[in-house]
Amino acid sequence: MALTRRQFIQIGGAAVAGGAVASGLASRWWGLDRNRVEDPGTDGDRVVASYCELCFWGCGVLAHVKDGRVTKVTGNPDHPLSRGRLCPRGAGATGLLYDPDRLKRPLVRTQKRGEDAFQEVSWDAALNKVGEGLLELRRRHGPEALALFSHGSGGTWFKHFMKAWGSPNVGAPSYAQCRGPREAGYLLTYGTPLGSPEPIDIAHARVITLIGSHLGENMHNTQVQDLAEAIGNGAQLVVVDPRFSVAASKARFWLPIKPGTDIALLLAWMNVLLEEKRYDAEYLAQHANGLEELKAHVAGKTPEWAAAITGLKAELIRDSARFIAAARPASLVHPGRHTTWYGDDTQRARAMAILAALLGSWGRRGGYLTYNKMGLPPYRMTKELPHGGKGAADKPRDGGYPVAGEVIASGLCDAATPGHALYDLKGWMVYGCNLIQALPSRKQTIDAIQNLDLLVSIDVLPAEICGWSDVVLPECSYLEREDDVLAPPWREPFLALRQEAVPPLHESKPGWWIAKELAGRVGLAEYFPWKDAREYVDARLTLARHDVAEARRRGVVLGKKGPVCEEEGLPIDLGTDSKKIELYSQELKRLGFDPLPQYVPQEEGPAGHFRLLMGRAPTHTFGRTVNNRLLAEPYPENEVWVSAAAAQALPGFPGPLRNGERVWLVNQDGARSGPVRAKVTQRIRDDCVFLVHGWGQGAKRLRYAHGKGASDAELVTRYKVDPIMGGTGMSVNFVRLEPVGRIA
Amino acid sequence: MSARFAMAVDTVRCVGCNGCVIACKTENAVPEGGFRDWIAQEVHGVFPDLSMQIRSERCNHCAAPSCVDACPTGASHVAQGGIVAVARNKCTGCKACIAACPYGARYVHPAGYVDKCTFCLHRVAKGKAPACVETCPTRSLTFGDLADPESPVSRLLRSRRYAVLREESGNRPQVFFLA
Amino acid sequence: MNELDVARYSHLIDPKLHIWGWEIPVYLFLGGVAAGGMVLSSWLALGGARPSRAARWLAFAPAGLVALGMGALFLDLSYKLHAWRFYLAFRWTSPMSWGAWILVVMMPVSLLVALGGLEEGELSWPALAPLRAVALRYRPLLLRANLVLGAGLGLYTGVLLSTLGARALWSSALLGPLFLVSGLSSGAAFVLLFRLSEEERHRVTRFDQVAIAVELAVLLLFLVGLATSGAAGKDAAGLLLGGPFTASFWSLVVIAGLAVPFLLEALETALNLRATALAPLLVLAGGFALRFIFVAAGQV
């Protein structure tokens, strides 16, 4: 071993270099140095066009199917509502499809109602049980004693069943618990309700005024697309909200109003418009009745008057009014959607409608449009549906709610209490609406349920209402079924098809099948002559001479765009009896209500309490999506928004409430919900708290959502009924916060 | 001239709906708990004098990526068009890149390798836009090639004011937030 | 007053980054002790005196400690099957890569140094005879290489963190020197746990005292530098000077790990007391706490 130092270094160096070269060559030869960045491979072998059912908007989707699984759901570029773009819920449909907690087999209750004890049974056994129950109900109480609560497009089959069965009692919480007051307010003013999607021209508006609407957080896809487009084109926002909403953060004017005082603000805005002659006089002269009465009504209702009521600075009210007026007629007062707040909601909607009229925006570009619907002939039935029968039992025995344009769901609930309505309801079918969260006063709902002879629910997930049902029928999700054609009114009328992307999982069944099978068991089979939903839809499309294959490939049939506003040549046509905009409502006067909106102070809450406000998150649709694991990732549970100022010294708290800490919410009647994480923020007034609706689920079979967050519904023990249309104002509850340590 | 991919995020249009997040998760089969993009909301001020910026954030595909520098095996690399990617066949899961990233844009996939936004390299290679861009209901996201002066992203950056996140990191991020 | 809401819940990096648990601090600590051990064994051997039996055998320790440390590092890898990828690439910008390769180079060198330092017949394993011949032939070169590699290893344990510029606490050029001197002192403390000759003990204790003094100075400079840098640095300094890590940092690292052993060692030297294991153990505990706290605090 006689190596020199030099040799040693040389050999060592050569070894290292050799090793490096060898490893380099080895890498090269074996392809080890190639950077593999995999294609995730989620493009489908098959792409099925359909429309979405994660909310009610009905956007067109493309379901990518690979090896029998839906890998992803994307927007259908041909569909006018999605334009190829989806909100998170739409994109998260696979989270519903593959939700491990889905209803898998029919369930029959084994113990007392509400104990949530069920047995899995076969479809035959379940359907026979429902059939026998229905026949017994009809024998003892007549067909009208059955009510259907239905939300979602699959409900059409059950609505058809109800027609064949002979009951008018078909309702949904989407009216009297949601957009009803708005529909009534616009119906009274313009002679037509707005419906869904709302015929408003956000895209072309130059100023958009949102009153309690948090568009962007309520993710109505097309409206949000239009809103962004408008903002991109320089449109300005005026946002009235006690909370610094997402829309408020983009607004030129944010008016952090004291909850319950919107009508005062609206009257003051009108006062500015009328006093300063900023309204569209020519338009009103031509199209409206009652301007003089309105002028007299708002005289004196100055910004200074409203400032004392609303907690807003008079200058802010005046400046925002001028700003709104300056953009008319392309100054859009958004009508809102969830409008059941304080029981005087129809009057607030009236005030908004009147403001829109002063701006001359009804029937004009950038304002309210007239949409068109694409007709489609009905399926040719051999047997005509029965006519006549009793009216709906959705109103109290002594009458009321004369302007209600749809069946009042809360009224159907009340009608289960003997003697409340003209006749009693004895059976409920509930399709896709969780009445426990949707209706006000949970106790009242449960008491009503205990009066029923039969409660059947049809759902995809084991919602709370399923736990109270006698029979639970598992429907498959929208990706696993065919449904009726959707033909909503729109700028350019269209038809959209619901198509099965993958066969139903587990033992779930599509709604059309369940309805048809039920009909067969109660002697109504001849009203369901179609083989299946596909044959039903194809027959209708064929009758209208549409290319069925092409329609199924694209998922939509587009109609011809007609004029939708005055600028496009469509004359302003009003549906009121007077054929005029009813600034002063003769109808309301006749019915004994205020013909012009009045500001009536709301009751204040007890000391140390905050008014409970509710709203939406873009990732969730009511309580329907809270168990969706995919959507839970960016939004795992709701939070109670508490003003940072108020959080400094909350009664009962040893120190300041910290952001993220959990608290209980306890309302004025002692109802509690939580524990829920507190979002301590500058973004809300200090006299109210805010919750996103749908959380605090009591359904233990929703294993993800169960017990997460807090339920505003649980805290709505009180509500104020709108005497005009029967809406249930629910923002009349007050909560205090309680530290979690207090009760274990 | 070779491509230089970049993204402009219009914070004025964005409503923070998370559409980009869910579309990304399904497009890329991102596992539960992993995020390749996310929404950040930054509020300034005291009630009622407030402002808020909403940002759809993701890997900034930096021109001087500290994560690539930190990677001992070359798994983190700069791919086509400047896209920063992880070759999962080379990744040891040492997590140096996660520590090196100023943006928290990387996470450990349950399979062991480090995962992150690829600007949907697999889609871009086919001439399609990234999934987040394609789905965004507010059209807040613009993806494109900065090397092409006529690309929409180049034009946007010429006409609008913008900022990048943590410029002081020296990473030269390539996701631009329009204000 | 600002609020920042990030709508994601990624367990590793939200709400704070905590990608590295106990494994990395253990790896850095063992690497540091090994670095100190290498420097010391070269230093003692280059000092000329005939090393004690303990000192001779202790020269094997760095390789063992590093092997243990690498075991910890391996445990931390989340894709262990790809560990071999470290040795298919050398990425000069990546301290992680430097580390992987330094470990490969220091192993044979430190083992050769140890082998060459043994007395004739102390290890009668014929297969090692040729290696021992090499080790003896190039002993002076190997000893110097060992010294340099030891210092490099010590520096590396700090540089690994300090190049991660995204973490303000780590982003300091002083982190390398700090971890180096801490490693030297820990290595000395480790050696002091064994039965050294009186002269060696004296030299190593002096060495340790100097290392501790320098470490205190570097630590002070580090904190001053951090506290007077930008906002992020101030926040990071706050973690140690008035935040969640203040108590553990000052009690475990500064007082128990540096000040007390320094005084103890000074007393031992001055009063010629019989040395106990207390001071070295405190130094070692302090050295580990330093790395643990730095790794944890850097991930806040």
Per-residue pLDDT of A220-242, as tens digits, reads 999 999 999 999 999 999 999 99
Chain A contacts of B76, Cβ < 8 Å? none
Can you give the pLDDT at residue A1? 41
Query: Is residue A589 predicted with pLDDT exceeding 70?
Result: yes
List of chain B residues with pLDDT < 50? none
Q: Best interface-test mutation with B: which of A59, A87, A680 has the largest number of B CBs within 10 A?
A: A87
Q: Best interface-test mutation with C: which of B46, B49, B94, B132 has the largest number of C CBs within 10 A?
A: B94
> How far is it, in rounded angstroms, from Cα A192 to Cα A206?
24
- Residue B34 forms contact with C (CB below 8 Å): yes
Closest partner residue to A39 (CB to CB) among B26, B122, B137 is B122
Q: Residues of chain A with pLDDT > 90: what percent?
A: 92
Nearest CA in chain B to C84: B92
* Closest Cα in chain A, distance from residue C278 (Å): 43
Q: Best interface-test mutation with B: which of C1, C2, C10, C167 has the largest number of B CBs within 10 A?
A: C10
Q: Residues of chain C with pLDDT > 90: what percent?
A: 55
Positions of E strands within chain B: 5-10, 37-46, 49-58, 76-78, 84-86, 107-108, 114-115, 141-145, 162-163, 175-178
The answer to whether the CB of A481 falls within 8 A of the CB of A500 is: yes
Angle subtended at Cα C130 by Cα C128 and Cα C135, rounded to the nearest 5 degrees = 90
Can you give the pLDDT at residue A450? 95
Contact A5 C138 (CB under 8 A): yes
What the block records as the tokens of A208 is 């958009």
Cα A589–chain centre separation: 32
Q: What is the pLDDT of residues A501-535, one digit of tens each?
A: 999 999 999 999 999 999 999 999 999 999 999 99
Chain A contacts of B90, Cβ < 8 Å? 35
The residue that leads in pLDDT, A539 or C44, is A539
How crowded is the C-beta side of A63, counted as CA atoms within 13 Å? Answer: 28
User: What pTM value is reported for the model?
Assistant: 0.93
Return the closest-CA partner of residue A105 out of A428, A478, A504. A504
The torsion of the CA quartet C71, C75, C79, C84, rounded to 10 degrees, works out to 0
For range C138-145, the mean pLDDT: 92
- Residue C87 forms contact with A (CB below 8 Å): yes
The answer to whether the CB of B43 falls within 8 A of the CB of C3 is: yes
Can you give the pLDDT at residue A186? 98
- Residue C120 forms contact with B (CB below 8 Å): no
* Closest Cα in chain C, distance from residue B73 (Å): 5
Q: Does a cis peptide bond (omega within 30 degrees of 0) precede residue A329?
A: yes
DSSP A663-693: EEEEETTS-EEEEEEEEEESSB-TTEEEEET
* Closest Cα in chain A, distance from residue B171 (Å): 22
- Residue B169 forms contact with C (CB below 8 Å): yes
The answer to whether the CB of C146 falls within 8 A of the CB of C38 is: yes
* Closest Cα in chain A, distance from residue B19 (Å): 4
- Residue B13 forms contact with C (CB below 8 Å): no
> How far is it, in rounded angstroms, from Cα C20 to Cα C77?
10
Nearest CA in chain C to A22: C88
> How far is it, in rounded angstroms, from Cα B151 to Cα B142?
10
Q: What is the pLDDT of residues A607-617, one digit of tens each?
A: 999 999 999 99
Contacts of C199 (CB under 8 A, 6+ apart): C49
- Residue C231 forms contact with B (CB below 8 Å): no
Query: Is residue A491 predicted with pLDDT exceeding 90?
Result: yes
Taking any CB pair shorter than 8 Å as contact, residues of chain A touching chain C are: 1, 3, 5, 8, 20, 23-24, 26-27, 32-33, 633-636, 644, 659, 681-683
Q: Best interface-test mutation with A: which of C138, C139, C142, C144 has the largest number of A CBs within 10 A?
A: C138
The answer to whether the CB of A695 falls within 8 A of the CB of A709 is: yes
How crowded is the C-beta side of A252, counted as CA atoms within 13 Å? Answer: 17
Closest partner residue to B34 (CB to CB) among C10, C83, C298 is C10
Tell me the Cα Rg of chain C. 20
Can you give the pLDDT at residue A6? 60
Can you give the pLDDT at residue A23? 60
Prediction ipTM score: 0.96
Strands A236-240 and A207-211: parallel
pLDDT band at A744 (very low <50, low <70, confident <90, very high): very low
Q: Best interface-test mutation with A: which of B10, B14, B22 has the largest number of A CBs within 10 A?
A: B22
pLDDT band at A463 (very low <50, low <70, confident <90, very high): very high
pLDDT band at A25 (very low <50, low <70, confident <90, very high): low
- Residue C137 forms contact with A (CB below 8 Å): yes
Nearest CA in chain B to C169: B99
* Closest Cα in chain A, distance from residue B129 (Å): 13
pLDDT band at C122 (very low <50, low <70, confident <90, very high): confident
| Burial environment of residue A459 by CB neighbours within 10 A (0 to 12, 13 to 18, 19 or more) | buried
Query: Is residue A597 predicted with pLDDT exceeding 90?
Result: yes
> How far is it, in rounded angstroms, from Cα C265 to Cα A585?
97
Nearest CA in chain A to C5: A679
> A195: phi > 0 → left, psi -120 to 50 → alpha, else beta; which?
left
Return the closest-CA partner of residue C44 out of C63, C32, C31, C57. C57
Look-up of token digits 């092997």: C67
pLDDT band at A720 (very low <50, low <70, confident <90, very high): very high
> How far is it, in rounded angstroms, from Cα B142 to Cα A22?
45
Closest partner residue to A1 (CB to CB) among C9, C90, C134 is C134
* Closest Cα in chain A, distance from residue B148 (Å): 23
> How far is it, in rounded angstroms, from Cα B95 to Cα A22?
27
Three-state secondary structure call for residue A470: coil
Chain C contacts of B43, Cβ < 8 Å? 2-5
* Closest Cα in chain A, distance from residue C63 (Å): 19
Query: Is residue A22 predicted with pLDDT exceeding 70?
Result: no
> Which chains, if any, share at least 3 CB pairs under 8 A with chain C?
A, B
Query: Is residue A201 predicted with pLDDT exceeding 80?
Result: yes
- Residue B170 forms contact with C (CB below 8 Å): yes
> How far is it, in rounded angstroms, from Cα B2 to Cα B148?
9
* Closest Cα in chain A, distance from residue B166 (Å): 23
Residue A473: phi and psi, rounded to 5, are: -110, 120
How crowded is the C-beta side of A261, counted as CA atoms within 13 Å? Answer: 23
> How far is it, in rounded angstroms, from Cα A224 to Cα A34?
44
> How far is it, in rounded angstroms, from Cα A8 to Cα A28?
30
What the block records as the tokens of A277 is 């002659």
Q: Which residue type occupies C279?
A: A
Closest partner residue to B13 (CB to CB) among A75, A86, A228 is A228
Number of H helices, E strands in chain B: 6, 10
Nearest CA in chain A to B141: A228
Return the closest-CA partner of residue A308 out of A608, A599, A685, A734. A599
Q: What is the pLDDT of residues C80-97, one digit of tens each?
A: 999 999 998 899 899 889
- Residue B168 forms contact with C (CB below 8 Å): yes
Residue A338: phi and psi, rounded to 5, are: -80, 105
* Closest Cα in chain B, distance from residue C169 (Å): 12
Contact B50 A87 (CB under 8 A): no
What separation, in Å, do the N-terminal and C-terminal C-alpha atoms of chain C show?
Answer: 20
Contact B122 A37 (CB under 8 A): yes
* Closest Cα in chain B, distance from residue A354 (Å): 29
Look-up of token digits 């239009």: A226
Chain B contacts of C19, Cβ < 8 Å? 95, 98-99, 108
Max Cα distance, chain B (Å): 52
Closest partner residue to A35 (CB to CB) among B43, B45, B85 is B85
Look-up of token digits 């113990």: A111
